[in-house]
């Protein structure tokens, strides 16, 4: 659970060492806030639509199995013929609906329309974040484990800024945006592996899964994996927004 954002005083936000103020957090960027809010809305809608399509895919697949076993045998030949024609039409309709739903649910069906353009938008936010603090004071302070930065940084942000993320970033904002991008990619990879656990790039947890014995059900697996990944991404976005809010409040205090 994310902690409530607290007001950050200018003294803590910028620090005072001797007579010269030292800025520990880079400036607020409204575009990053807006972009992250839009991303959260987009990914929540996307995951829920994908889950609905997986369920439709499953339902139409089961319907296909039932229709394949149906055959009319009562009545005259003419009646049987008309009945079987109706069943065949129902089979064709069910096949089409299943194909559409399964494609709409799949990773490949969403790769071009969602995953690629959404990651591109996140990369733009990352580029904006990179120029906020080119000197890397915030990152350096994290690596040094300074008490001043720990006082500035909300708990939820500090917890998200592990050593690996920090080493990849020029500043704290870029570090937390990096986390969002990495987990967006993880969402895409797990989605791909739900469709095909045998894909060579799948995480270890997908190894050894038999896909030919009928026990692997993408709709069921998606209902476990995707909500968990969504929760993680929402938490990531909130961390970015918490950091931006802390910077705004600190800047506001500075002007008082």
- Which residue, 30, 33, 8, is CA-closest to 247? 8
pLDDT confidence of residue 10: 34
Lowest mean pLDDT among 76-80, 98-102, 159-163, 247-251: 159-163
Closest CA to 212 of 197, 226, 223: 197
Task: Tell me what pLDDT residue 20 has.
Answer: 40
Say what percent of the chain tops pLDDT 90: 32
Q: Is 68 within the bounds of a domain?
A: no
Q: Tell me if 19 is assigned to some domain.
A: yes
Q: For residue 229, what pLDDT band results from cuts at 50, 70 and 90?
A: very high
Among 118-122, 182-186, 205-209, 236-240, whose mean pLDDT is lowest?
Answer: 205-209
Would 65 be classed as within a structural domain?
no
Residue 1 lies in a domain: no
CA distance linking residue 165 with residue 130, whole number of Å: 13
182-209: per-residue pLDDT in tens? 999 999 999 999 999 988 899 888 877 7
Alpha carbon of 56 to those of 36, 175, 254: distances in Å? 30, 38, 55
Beta bridge partners of 20: 17
- Give the residue with greater pLDDT, 221 vs 150: 221
pLDDT of residue 56: 93
The predicted pLDDT at position 113 comes to 96
Q: Is residue 238 part of a domain?
A: yes
Ranges 88-92, 215-219, 224-228, most confident: 224-228
Tell me, yes or no, whether 99 lies in a domain: no
29-55 average pLDDT score:
95
* pLDDT for 4: 33
**DSSP-based three-state secondary structure for 17:** strand
Assess if residue 5 is contained within a domain: no
Residue 84: inside a domain, yes or no? no
- Domain range holding 219? 10-56+106-254
- Total domains present in the chain: 1
Among 3-17, 28-42, 70-84, 100-114, the range scoring the smallest mean pLDDT is 3-17
The DSSP 8-state label assigned to residue 205 in this structure reads G
């Amino acid at each position: 659970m994310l902690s409530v954002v607290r007001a950050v005083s200018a003294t803590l936000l910028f620090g005072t060492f001797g007579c010269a103020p030292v800025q520990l957090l880079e400036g607020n960027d409204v575009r990053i806030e807006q972009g992250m809010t839009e991303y959260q809305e987009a990914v929540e809608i996307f995951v829920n639509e994908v889950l609905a399509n997986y369920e439709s895919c499953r339902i139409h697949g089961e319907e296909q199995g039932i229709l394949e076993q149906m055959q009319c045998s009562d009545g005259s030949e003419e009646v049987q013929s008309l009945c079987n024609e109706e069943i065949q039409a129902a089979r064709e309709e069910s096949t089409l609906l299943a194909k559409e739903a399964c494609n709409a649910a799949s990773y490949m069906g969403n790769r071009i329309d969602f995953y690629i353009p959404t990651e591109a938008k996140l990369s733009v936010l990352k580029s904006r974040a990179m120029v906020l603090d080119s000197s890397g004071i915030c990152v350096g302070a994290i690596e040094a484990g300074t008490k001043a930065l720990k006082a500035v940084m909300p708990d939820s942000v500090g917890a998200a800024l592990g050593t690996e993320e920090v080493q990849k970033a020029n500043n704290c904002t870029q570090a937390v945006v990096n986390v969002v991008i990495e987990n967006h990619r993880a969402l895409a990879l797990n989605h791909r592996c739900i469709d095909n656990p045998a894909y060579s790039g799948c995480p270890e947890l997908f190894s050894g899964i038999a896909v030919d014995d009928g026990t692997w059900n993408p709709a069921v697996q998606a209902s476990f994996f995707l909500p968990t990944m969504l929760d993680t991404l929402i938490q990531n976005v909130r961390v970015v927004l918490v950091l931006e809010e802390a910077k705004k409040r600190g800047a506001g205090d500075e002007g008082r």
